[in-house]
């Protein structure tokens, strides 16, 4: 079967019809004003990773010209007239959709559309459910948008460590000033590569540091090796003790793993492929993929600034289009301090960015917390 597609920058709509219908060949019509060479390469890589034998073909058209789109469709249909042909209108522009409809009617071809809300591929002309949607996996999605998982720069928590990490995270969230003092001490000379030992004397000035250190020792993140001398239990534990913002990221990651199969922490978008300089801002703290829907989560210790809302909203829209959701997780109390936060909560609600407060998990099950946050995005 040959599947004719209209390609835009939405990776989900590009992949789902191919993954679901499994054509022998997929022919994408695209416009260079919307879809770059890198976009095309990334989508093809994602398809070939799942279906190595599927042929992927690209044809450039003027998306604003009905005549151009129609002519290309006619040529494709003529070339593959001896094969079964489907035209899918899940992606693309309104003109492309209209042209696809006309071609399907004239040549009596199946016209399909992936309805993500029902979870089925539909025959548009008969309203018949053809097939259940094959979900896009997170790894497929990341590959299609030029993303990469930062396995080399983030130690993703192992399941065996979930309980002690959650326990320690709660200590840190409840004692942020003490954590600040400890963090300032531990990163002054002990965070460099290869350094696995550190010291901490006992005095009044170090009381807050000792409080946090004792909590780490009790949970096995470090161990004492002499008088006022300690060592990190592992490279991963060292990272956890010397990277401030990682605690909320790990906390949200672990809570999400209780509800969703596919969760990544520390996803870096390789902007080199997209002609934008690489920076820390290009890292997405936590990404969830559920039923082909990407959910981007920005984790912020303490205060949420308006720039954070705009950044995660823009990131989600750019990478996932209308199917993507964006959430902000924070240790601050945003809901009950609307005025002090300069209307951040109201701004999030208006922009359909969901909110998770760390305290929410004390009041509700993780699934209820995420459902509540996702409702804000509807």
Residue that is last in its domain, among 96, 118, 134:
134
* Together in a domain, 238 and 249: no
Residues 329 and 256 in one domain: yes
pLDDT at position 282 is 67
Give backbone dihedrals phi and psi of 152, rounded to 5 degrees, phi first: -85, -20
Rounded to whole angstroms, what are the CA distances from 185 to 82, 174, 241? 72, 19, 11
Strand partners, 4: 27, 87
- What's the gap between Cα 182 and its chain centre? 31
What pTM was computed for the model?
Answer: 0.82
**What integer pLDDT is reported at residue 116 of this predicted model?**
87
Question: Do 207 and 283 belong to one domain?
Answer: no
* 315 and 359 housed in the same domain: yes
pLDDT per residue over 61-83, tens digit each?
Answer: 999 999 999 999 999 999 999 99
Q: Which residues of 180-217 are buried (b: 16+ CB within 10 A; e: fewer)?
A: bbbbebbeeebeeeeeeebebeeeeebebbbebbebbe
DSSP H helical ranges for the chain: 11-21, 37-50, 66-79, 94-107, 138-144, 162-174, 176-186, 207-218, 235-242, 246-257, 306-320, 344-351, 360-363, 366-375
Task: Flag whether 206 is in a domain.
Answer: yes
Q: Tell whether 152 is covered by a domain.
A: no
266 & 360 share domain: yes
84 and 118 co-located in one domain? yes
| Span 229-250, pLDDT tens digits | 999 999 999 999 998 889 999 9
Does residue 371 sit within a domain?
yes
- Checking if the pLDDT of 152 tops 60, the result is no
Dump pLDDT digits (tens) for 294-352.
899 999 987 888 888 998 888 887 776 667 899 999 998 888 765 544 588 888 989 99
Query: Which pLDDT score, from 0 to 100, does residue 274 have?
Result: 47
What per-residue confidence (pLDDT) applies to 228?
Answer: 86
Residue 280 lies in a domain: yes
Question: Could you list the residue range(s) of the whole structural domain that residue 300 is in?
Answer: 245-375
Q: 226 with 290, same domain?
A: no
Instruction: Classify residue 94: in a domain, yes or no.
Output: yes
Residues 23 and 65 in one domain: yes
Is 50 domain-assigned?
A: yes
Query: Do 65 and 114 fall within a single domain?
Result: yes
Q: Same structural domain for residues 118 and 169? A: no
Cα separation of 351 and 51, whole Å?
A: 37
Domain final residue pick, 119, 134, 149: 134
- On whether both 83 and 100 belong to a single domain, the answer is yes
Question: pLDDT, tens digit, for every residue of 103-133?
Answer: 999 999 999 999 988 999 999 999 999 999 9
CATH number, domain containing residue 20: 3.40.50.10770
Task: Count the domains in the chain.
Answer: 3
SS3 131: strand
Domain assignment present for 145? no
Considering 199, 218, 242, which residue would you say is the last residue of a domain?
A: 242
**Parallel, antiparallel or unpaired: strands 197-199 and 222-226:** unpaired
Determine, yes or no, domain membership for 167.
Answer: yes
- Residue 249 and residue 238 in one domain: no
Higher model confidence: residue 186 or residue 98?
98
């Amino acid at each position: 079967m040959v599947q004719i597609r209209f390609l835009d920058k939405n990776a989900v709509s590009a992949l789902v019809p191919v993954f679901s219908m499994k054509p022998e060949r997929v022919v994408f019509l695209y416009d260079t004003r919307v879809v770059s060479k890198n976009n095309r390469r990334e989508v093809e890589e994602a398809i070939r990773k799942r279906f190595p034998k599927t042929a992927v073909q690209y044809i450039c058209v003027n998306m604003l010209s009905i005549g151009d789109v129609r002519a290309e469709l006619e040529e494709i249909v003529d070339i593959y007239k001896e094969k079964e042909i489907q035209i899918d209108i899940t992606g693309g522009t309104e003109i492309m959709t209209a042209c696809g409809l006309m071609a399907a009617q004239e040549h009596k071809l199946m016209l399909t559309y992936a309805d993500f809300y029902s979870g089925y591929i539909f025959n548009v002309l008969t309203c018949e459910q053809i097939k259940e949607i094959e979900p896009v996996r997170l790894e497929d999605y990341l590959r299609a948008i030029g993303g990469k998982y930062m396995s080399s720069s983030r130690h993703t928590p192992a399941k065996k460590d979930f309980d002690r990490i959650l326990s320690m995270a709660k200590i840190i969230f409840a004692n942020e000033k003490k954590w600040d003092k400890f963090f300032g001490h531990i990163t002054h000379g002990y965070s460099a590569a290869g350094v696995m030992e550190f010291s901490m004397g006992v005095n009044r000035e170090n009381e807050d540091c000792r409080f946090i250190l004792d909590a780490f020792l009790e949970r096995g993140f470090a161990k004492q090796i002499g008088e006022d001398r300690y060592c990190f239990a592992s490279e991963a534990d060292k990272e956890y003790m010397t990277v401030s913002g990682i605690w909320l990221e790990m906390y949200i990651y672990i809570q999400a793993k209780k509800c969703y199969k596919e969760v990544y922490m520390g996803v870096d978008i390789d902007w080199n492929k997209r002609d934008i300089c690489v920076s820390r801002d290009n890292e997405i703290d936590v990404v969830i993929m559920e039923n082909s829907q990407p959910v981007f989560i920005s984790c912020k210790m303490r205060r949420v600034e308006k720039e954070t809302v705009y950044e995660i909203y823009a990131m989600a829209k750019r990478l996932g289009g209308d199917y993507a959701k964006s959430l902000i997780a924070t240790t601050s109390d945003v809901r009950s301090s609307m005025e002090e936060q300069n209307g951040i909560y109201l701004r999030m609600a208006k922009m359909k960015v969901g909110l998770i407060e760390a305290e929410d998990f004390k009041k509700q099950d993780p699934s209820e917390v995420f459902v509540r946050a996702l409702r804000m995005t509807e």
